[in-house]
A and B are shown apart, each in its own frame.
Chain A
């Protein structure tokens, strides 16, 4: 029993300590963002990496999610004659939920893993120390560009995912189930509000920032050679995915109620 309580206590302490370190890193990142010189070139490189290079896999995911959503909703809603609202269901779920979350999960798996692995390798091969000796703040040089790119590129990619998902839904509803194209678009536009879109993008923004912060944190504080880099990478993906899924509920509760 004492052992159990001891372990519980230890877990709580290490969790709190870790959360504290992440918050410290966040504050340092924000501070460094506003101190010149600005890392413009590095930021563009990261935007390309996180945004543009994630597009293909996000697009494939979005189009098929839109399609399967239309398929399931159509066949399900047909039972009570509501198949005309498929457009609405696809549009609302893509913009409010699936667009940001799926994009977030994919970027966490792709770019989050890459960030943790790169920073982790830099840590264990002393490249981060080398930056310090060359009078360059590693948080500013490495983390700020990734954080800004996460914040800005995730919403950008999410918009594309939203649109492509809705088009995927259209293809199935109109192309396969022969519903009228006019009905699909009318139902989409009639019930879709601007707030659905921008609240979804606020979520995406939060997810993007969290992925970058958590993954950079894991990479930046890597220890223990190649094995440590592996652990940091896995840890980054797991922690960012968990952050996305858990915060999604609370953000949705706050934004959409």
Chain B
């Protein structure tokens, strides 16, 4: 379904991806873990084609999207839904307009029908009666839910989650995890999440891959990862400052989020 082959990407002098390979099967829920600034977001942005690799290929359903023209790429993107770290709701639109955005743009539907669908999707993510609110009136957890409703509104085949639980309290974070599991079961989508929250990773993943120094160094089921012998993975999942992973005090992932 999704296959990344030998991906290289640099931003200025900083080499973020160094020959990364990753394969995700249809219907699978994959979580990529890795430290801040390790290039996790960059992987997601390559999968959906916002970034183009310096070298390497990105296959979606066996089509290499790195060689597509813009227009074909936008067609492929209709298969995707993405939940952003800070939800990235359009703050000039109210909640239902946000959720129905893709439908308004790409399907010839009446606004009243789109509003109905938006309300239904909001209900799926556990929100009722918020459709006319503006994003600024919502809490962090609610924004994420609206972001998720927007991501699923056009019934995508692939869902991407960028740090779905970051910035949420533990209870809200767990509710979002539950929702992600539920989405996979109800919609039978393929999903890729990136996170450094191990609770979240164990909960939502079929398989977990660890990104380190621009490559995937290990992939396994949550149990396999938990019992890993790899010292780097071990250090990461136990959250220790001591070990082979160097703590980079100055790295800032935000720098790499820009296209």
CB closest residue in chain B, given A130: B88
CA distance A134 to B255 in the complex (A): 23
State how many residues of chain B have any CB contact under 8 Å with chain A. 32
Q: In angstroms, how far is the closest chain A Cβ from the Cβ of B140?
A: 13
Q: Considering only CB atoms, which chain A residue lies closest to B79 in the complex?
A: A135
Query: Complex Cα distance A142/B125, Å?
Result: 29
Contact of A125 among B88, B105, B150 (CB under 8 A): B88
Residue of A133, A137, A224, A225 near B48 (CB, 8 A) is A133
Instruction: Return B219 CB to nearest CB of chain A, in Å.
Output: 25
Residues on B with beta carbons closer than 8 Å to the beta carbon of A136: 74, 101-102, 105
Cα A129 to Cα B49 in complex, Å, equals 10
B86 touches A133 (CB 8 A): no
Instruction: Give Cα A190–Cα B15 distance, bound, in whole angstroms.
Output: 69
Pairwise interchain contact B258-A223, C-beta atoms closer than 8 A: yes
Complex interface residues of chain A between 120 and 157 (CB less than 8 A to chain B): 121-123, 125-127, 129-130, 132-137
In the bound assembly, the distance between CA atoms of A121 and B74 in angstroms comes to 23
State which residues 64-105 of B face A: CB under 8 Å: 70, 74-75, 77-78, 80-82, 84-86, 88-92, 101-102, 105
Complex interface: chain A residues within 8 A of B254 (CB) = 224-225
Q: How far is the CB of B61 from chain A (nearest CB, A)?
A: 16
Whole-angstrom distance between the Cβ of A226 and the nearest chain B Cβ: 12
The DSSP consensus for interface residues of chain B is mixed
Interface string of B220-259 (1 = CB under 8 A from A): 0000000000000000000000000000000000110111
The smallest beta-carbon distance between A209 and chain B, in angstroms, is 23
Interface membership of B45, Cβ < 8 A: yes
A126 CB contacts on chain B under 8 angstroms: 84-86, 88, 257
Considering the complex, give the chain B residue whose CB is closest to the CB of A129.
B50
In the complex, per-residue mask of B124-168: 1 if CB is within 8 Å of any chain A CB, else 0: 000000000000000000000000001100100000100000000
Out of A118, A132, A223, which one reaches B77, CB within 8 Å?
A132
Which residues of chain A come closer than 8 Å to B101, judged between CB atoms? 134, 136
List the A side residues contacting B84 at CB < 8 Å: 126, 129-130
Asked whether B14 is an interface residue with its Cβ less than 8 Å from the other chain, the reply is no
Q: Which of A99-120 contact B (CB under 8 A)?
A: 118
* Complex contacts, B48 vs chain A, CB 8 Å: 132-133
Residues on the B chain within 8 Å of A122, using CB:
90
Given A126-B88, A129-B84, A129-B88: A135 touches B258 (CB 8 Å cut-off): no
Instruction: Report how far A123 CA is from B105 CA in the complex, Å.
Output: 20
Q: How far is the CB of B237 from chain A (nearest CB, A)?
A: 27
Q: What's the least CB distance linking A111 to chain B, in Å?
A: 15
A135, B88: Cβ atoms closer than 8 Å: no
For A125, A137, A224, which residue has the most chain B Cβ atoms within 10 angstroms? A125
- Which are the 10 A-B pairs with shortest beta-carbon distances? A126-B88, A130-B88, A133-B82, A135-B77, A134-B102, A135-B74, A135-B78, A126-B84, A127-B88, A132-B50
